[in-house]
Structure 1
Amino acid sequence: MDKPYIQRVSIFIALALAMAVTRIHHFDVLPDASWAIFFLAGFWLRGSARWAFPLLMAEAVLVDFVVITQQGMNFWSQYCVSPAYWFLIAAYGALWLGGSWLARHQLGLRMPTLGLAVLALLVSEAVCYLISNGSFYWISANVPAPRSFGAWFVNLGDWYLPFLEVTALYVGLGAVLHVLVTQLSRTLQHTGHTQH
């Protein structure tokens, strides 16, 4: 079902605000929700990738730029910014595609949809992680040589579960919100029909 334009813009604004608030405080109490935002955007904004995905990517880069430069550092010489930084487009794209795939295949508020959601999240998050971590490990000058597949697998293992946990937590919150809004919408529609 196609969402009206105003609804899509409202969802986009809410997601963009959530990303800005959590990405600014990347290592503070509130973990970065960017990965979950791209997955949820793929689900809720499927069909709007031409404008929503580039705007979310631009926001992510802008937030990084502001945070890094406000700390008095040069954006291009910061530890996390290397030629691998641009692989985040493909990494976040994998999350968007996972959410979009789920939107196409979901079966409404039923248990099989939960299984599809878990599958879509695990696969797209794993692809995102392999792209982002792999590009940084193999391309960034900040990773000391010599590099090896063994050391990369150790590095993958060190960071994978924390990224998965944070992403799954935010996607879970998004799923609860989705269920509540869907149920509320159905209740309001049912109430409207019974009053006529």
Structure 2
Amino acid sequence: MTLTRRPRLALFAALAVLMAATRLNHFGAVPDASWAVFLLAGFYLAGSVRWAFPALMVLAVAVDYVVITGSGLSFWSHYCVSPGYWFLLPAHFALWAAGAGLARFGQDRPLRQLGGLAPALLGGVALCHLFAQGGFYWFSSSVAAPTVAGWAKNYADWFLPYLGTTALYVGLAAVVHALVLLVHRAAPAAARDAGR
């Protein structure tokens, strides 16, 4: 889907607000939409990867900084900010790539893209989780004696909750996307009918 500059910036702003608003309280009543935001940004803003991906990464780190320091803790000594924190770069890019791949898959054929949504979502989340969870598990001091079995259990324990949250937001976005397409396609027909 190719968007002109203004809609692209508006969509970027909406995704950034969604991520900031939900990432502020990572385990709150409204779940963190960050993973879905990166996948959706890859889908809608694939051609803007040079500025949009870094901007979303900076926003994610800034929100983490505000949350951690706002609770009176040092950002750099927080348990989440370990050498594994850097693995969020390839983790989030995996989601971006899944979204961009879906955008190319069946371009201008919405039903084909809809068919590719589940594999893109599943693959993107699995790879993102591999980097994010693996980086934390293997490179933080929070895990005293890491083992392959412990890593596999930790991966499995957290995979479905992260997949479910991401799927929820992506599913809602798919519904909105479908409604916008219907309205967009109905508008010319309504204009033709009004001209008769």
**2:14 — aligned with what?**
14
Runs of 4+ in structure 1 displaced over 2 angstroms?
106-109, 112-115, 189-196
Secondary structure of residue in 2 paired with 1:117: helix
Tell me, what secondary structure is at the counterpart of 1:77?
coil
Amino acid in structure 2 at the alignment position of 1:187:
A
Please, which runs of 5 or more residues in structure 1 have no aligned partner?
A: none
Partner Cα distance (2:2, 2:77) in 1: 43
Give me the whole-angstrom Cα distance separating, in 1, the residues matched to 2:105 and 2:117.
9
Residue 46 of structure 1: how far off its partner (Å): 1.4
How high is the TM-score relative to the length of structure 1? 0.95
- Normalised to the residue count of structure 2, the TM-score between the two structures is 0.95
1:60 partnered with 2:60:
yes
Report Cα offsets for 1:109-168 as digits up to 9, x if no partner. Answer: 32x3222110111111100000111111111112112x2111111111111110010011
Report the alpha carbon displacement of residue 195 of structure 1 after superposing the two structures with TM: 4.0
- What letter corresponds to residue 122 of structure 2 in structure 1? L
Any idea what SS the aligned residue of 2:64 has?
A: helix
Matching residue of 2:136: 136
CA distance in 2, matches of 1:192, 1:50: 38
Pairs within 5 Å for 1:22-41: 22-41=22-41
Deviations 1:18-56 (A, max 9, x none): 001100121110000000000000001110101110110
Deviations for 1:160-180, whole angstroms, at most 9, x for unmatched residues?
A: 110010011111011111111
Number of aligned residue pairs = 194
Aligned-residue RMSD, C-alpha:
1.2
Unaligned segments of structure 2, at least 5 residues: none
Q: Aligned equivalents of 1:128 and 1:27: distance in 2? A: 18
Residues 1-196 of structure 1: matches in 2 within 5 Å? 1-106=1-106, 108-110=109-111, 112-145=112-145, 147-196=146-195
